[in-house]
Amino acid sequence: MKAHLWFWGAFLLFFALPFPCILYFGTSWPVQLADRSAPWLALLLLALSLVLWLALLLAFLHYLLLGPPRALHRVRSILADGEPRDALIEQAEQTGVHVRGFAQWKLQLSFQNLSGTPINEQMLVVDSKPQLRRFIAGQHIEARVSRAPGAFPNVVLEGAQPELDVARLWRRSIAAVIGIVAVASAYVFAYRLQSEGLGWTFLSLGHPLLVCPLVLCGYALGLRLLGRVLQADARGDVLKYRGLRVDAKVLKVRQTGTYFNEQPQVEFQLEFIDRDGNVQHASARRFIPLIELANIPREQVTLLYDPEDRSNVRLEGV
């Protein structure tokens, strides 16, 4: 799995960084005097380029450098104030990875969320006490669930001892410094090579200093939107850990015209009764395999909804 991620990461980075440079220097360089931008436009493009690179830097700091310390703080708060749960280990297997000589396990847990709805969760843990044989399928283990679900993580095993991977944070910090130096050097190199005493007028909409950060920002935005569509984000975790399961009446079914891996997206218009006895209306979308289109339910479905945000819903078993 990691090999596939590295491959696709390198593939996408090629089209975000080297490819725009190859394309530009192969077709638009050197810049003729008549093709140079007006000074006001050049400064505008320079500002836009800097803003895009700064946005990427802030995203890197937010998710990859500050994310782990925030997650550590969240784990400690869950251990201190989380809702206790008795979790059933449905599956347990070693991943083959060892941390400080202790085996890493992949567990499939089953327990009740904050609303009492049964849910499943998969998590990786390091067994620092192998003599206790705690991770065996069919056994129960104590866990704690965050009382304010949202950003990962939301469940922690009782007695866990969280710690930061300092080495990984150092590697990310070094990568960030290298990236900053590389981008700054690219600006200096481009200016010395292309300015010809005319300032930044060589900048254009197709220049790598603008195209590269724009493509990278597009990747980041696309991943965020994909997570929202697949409910693999904080809002989806809130629904999972706080949602109530109810039967909903199907009012209307239609295809939205959107496809993912050649699977059409189907929208369900639904009606259900919440825990307060009020009738609620909601819509939910799901990508359905083509061979299953004829079998989608058209009368009743199982729905998971957030009792504190009834617009946050998800179909179950469709």
Provide the β-strand partners of residue 253: 268
- Asked if the structure places residue 72 within a domain, the reply is no
Q: Does the residue 130 lie in any domain?
A: yes
What amino acid is encoded at 188 in this protein? Answer: V
Q: Looking at the domain assignment, is residue 153 inside a domain?
A: no
Q: Other C-beta atoms within 10 Å of 317: how many?
A: 7
| Domain match, 262 and 128 both | no
| Per-residue DSSP letter, 35 | G
User: Token match 């254009």: residue?
Assistant: 204
pTM of the model: 0.79
Out of 229, 264, 279, a domain closes at 229
**Which pLDDT score, from 0 to 100, does residue 316 have?**
82
Local structure of residue 65 (DSSP, 8 states): I
Domain ends where: 203, 229, 255? 229
CATH number of residue 257's parent domain: 2.40.50
Are 57 and 178 within one domain? yes
Q: What Rg, from alpha-carbon coordinates, does the chain have?
A: 25
Two structure tokens written together for 10: 């390198």
- Helix (H) or strand (E) segment spanning residue 263: strand 263-273
Residues 250 and 305 both lie in one domain: yes
Residue at 35 is within a domain:
yes
Shared domain for 136 and 180, answered yes or no, is no
Whether residue 33 is found in the same domain as residue 179: yes
Positive or negative, the Cα torsion across 225, 227, 230, 231? Answer: negative
Q: Say if 271 falls within a structural domain.
A: yes
154 is a domain residue: no
- 281 and 137 in a single domain? The answer is no
Backbone phi, psi, residue 300, to 5°: -150, 140
Shared domain check, 223 and 108: no
* Domain extent at residue 93: 83-145
CA 8 – CA 13 distance, rounded (Å): 8
pLDDT at 44: 96
**Residue 210 covered by a domain:** yes
Per-residue pLDDT at 41:
93
Question: Which are the contacts of 175, defined by CB distance < 8 A and separation ≥ 6?
Answer: none
Residue 56 sits in the same domain as residue 203:
yes
258 CB-side CA count, 13 A:
10
Pair 221, 249 in one domain: no
Are residue 140 and residue 180 in the same domain, yes or no? no
pLDDT at 318: 67
Block means of pLDDT (10 residues each) for the chain, 318 residues, are 73 89 86 86 95 95 92 93 94 87 91 93 88 89 92 88 88 94 95 90 92 94 80 83 92 88 88 90 88 86 89 82
Q: Are residues 251 and 223 in the same domain?
A: no
Instruction: Tell me the C-alpha to C-alpha distance, in Å, between residue 89 and each of 93, 137, 243.
Output: 11, 5, 21
Say what the pLDDT of residue 3 is. Answer: 64
d(CA 298, CA 61): 46
**Dihedral pair phi/psi, residue 113, rounded to 5°:** -80, -170
Q: Are residues 225 and 247 in the same domain?
A: no
Q: Is residue 237 assigned to a domain?
A: no
Domain count, the chain: 3
